[in-house]
């Protein structure tokens, strides 16, 4: 594990990868075509940025106003997984 304020190293620790994959799996279940409403559409990069902003505000609120580390970290996992998903979907700008 990385030092508290030090370098994170050159790889992502296994538990972090598992947490991110769990979030990605959850997101994929939410966007499964069988679960979508009729008016659901892909809002592209701009929509992903709105979602990222919402999860960032959520994490900030949990940390600043509630000092709730577990809920802040849960929002950070959602934030990270959403960013990774956006890179998977839209990351190739060619």
Q: How far apart are CA 58 and CA 63, in angstroms?
A: 9
Q: How far apart are CA 6 and CA 3, in angstroms?
A: 5
pLDDT at 67: 87
Considering the entire predicted model, what is its pTM?
A: 0.73
Q: How far apart are CA 89 and CA 8, in angstroms?
A: 26
pLDDT at 2: 46
> Is the pLDDT score of 6 beyond 50?
yes
């Amino acid at each position: 594990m990385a030092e508290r304020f030090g370098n994170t190293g050159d790889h992502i620790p296994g538990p972090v990868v598992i947490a991110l994959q769990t979030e990605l799996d959850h997101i994929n279940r939410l966007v499964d075509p069988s679960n979508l409403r009729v008016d659901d559409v892909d809002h592209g990069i701009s929509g992903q940025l709105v979602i990222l902003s919402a999860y960032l505000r959520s994490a900030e609120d949990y940390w600043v106003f509630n000092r709730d580390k577990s809920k802040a970290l849960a929002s950070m996992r959602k934030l990270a997984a959403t960013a990774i998903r956006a890179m998977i979907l839209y990351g190739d700008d060619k």
